[in-house]
Amino acid sequence: MTKPAVFLDLFVVLVFAAAGRASHDLSGDVLGVLATAWPFLVGMALGWAGAALLPAPVRRWWLDGFVVSLSALVVGMLLRWATGEGTALPFVIVATGILVGGLVGWRAVAAVVARRSPDRDRATA
């Protein structure tokens, strides 16, 4: 996992946690956000490990994004459930949309930008 990918993934999960706390009128302090985010951060880290284990011939930006996002979601929800935190269906639906959309979405934008970069145009001209 590249450093930009790590930081962008962290950003998505932390914004998700901060927005969730704000929508429930909870404190937006760093410790509060981390307390909300930790299950998803653990899942995300496991997703990074899982994506890294994929054989090079099948690695694609979108596959990495789905592995990381689904791991963040599933492991995050299991850890929330195991610790007595909420896993109501509406929360699971919102979390799915935000995590998959964010963790796959920034990779999609990066892939489009990379395809349109001047360096690539010069290499194919």
Tell me which residue of 98, 55, 52, 92 sits closest to 76, measured CA to CA: 92
Using CB atoms within 10 Å of the CB of residue 35, give its burial: 0 to 12 exposed, 13 to 18 middle, 19+ buried.
Answer: middle
The answer to whether 106 and 12 have CB atoms below 8 angstroms apart is: yes
Give burial (CB, 10 Å; 0-12/13-18/19+) of 124.
exposed
Per-residue model confidence as pLDDT tens digits over 59-72: 888 899 999 999 99
* pLDDT tens-digit map of 72-91: 999 999 999 999 998 999 99
* Domain chopping of the chain, boundaries: 3-124
Q: Kindly report the pTM of this predicted structure.
A: 0.86
